[in-house]
Amino acid sequence: MRISELADTTGVSVATIKYYVREGLLSPGRKLSERLADYDDQHVRRLRLLRVLRDVGSVPVGALKALVDATQDRRASVHDMFGRACDALRTETAVPEVPDEHTRALADQIVARAGWTKVRPDAPERDRLAGIIKVILDSGLPTDPEGAATYLPLVDAIAAYDLDQIDDTRDREAMMEQMVLGQVVLGEFLLSLRRLAHEHHSALRFAGRR
């Protein structure tokens, strides 16, 4: 398949494909000659995946690169690969860097209470959670710290379901694809459901109210 054909079937412009190859998101085609390369179904799949992640998930190009690198590293276990995927997909929005003891303790407490015993003690996500807790406390949201307990079983059930969706008979690239798509697209799905539920519950409580 020539580059123009790849562009046509995926709806991604030739210029963008070249850009992605430059950035290492897509392997160069198999060289047929100095000025001609061959692209195959792998390229089509990869390109489609990249576009979904960017269009729907707004995943920055740098994060996509990290994802690709994690998939490529064949020495790592599936679990490690998934871990690197989570790291790459964590939107690095600014939460306090948290040198704060208290919020970090709260975060650890939440993880413990949820029963997530397999989470590394030094997982970077713990710090992010602590940062978010700090923002919540500082912003004067009326969230009682115990309130988190309400969320935990629900989140746990959702995450367990997410992981059960992954077909572990497939190769690692396919599993990675499912994991990443699940994280991003099902994440959007959940956010959308939450907004719909908000509309419903808001109507129950505040319709007609000034």
Region near a copy of itself per CB under 8 A, out of 14-22, 29-37, 97-105, 175-183? 175-183
Q: Which helix (H) or strand (E) holds 103?
A: helix 101-114
CA-atom Rg of the chain in angstroms: 21
Residue 13: partners with Cβ closer than 8 Å, 6 or more residues away: 7
Q: How far is the CB of 137 from a copy of itself (least distance, A)?
A: 10
Give which of DNA, a copy of itself, none residue 73 binds (C-beta under 5 to 8 Å, depending on kind): none
Nearest to 24 by CA among 7, 54, 5, 46: 46
Q: Which of 99, 101, 154, 169 binds a copy of itself (CB under 8 A)?
A: 154
Binding mask 32-71 for a copy of itself (x = CB under 8 A): ----------------xx--x--xxxx-------------
Give me the least distance between CB of 146 and DNA, in Å please.
Answer: 34
Contact range with DNA by CB under 7 A, out of 7-15, 124-132, 144-152, 167-175? 7-15
Pick the closest to residue 82 from 20, 145, 173, 8 (CA basis): 173
* Closer to DNA by Cβ: residue 5 or 138: 5
Give residues 35-74 in contact with DNA (rule: CB under 7 A): 35-37, 54, 60-62
Residue 172 C-beta: closest distance to a copy of itself, Å: 7
Contact (Cβ atoms closer than 8 angstroms) between residue 33 and residue 2: no
Is 180 exposed, middle or buried (CB count within 10 Å of its CB: 0-12, 13-18, 19+)? buried
71, 25 contact by CB (below 8 A): no
H or E segment to which residue 31 belongs: strand 30-33
Total of residues contacting a copy of itself (CB under 8 A): 91
Does residue 33 touch DNA according to CB under 7 A?
Answer: yes
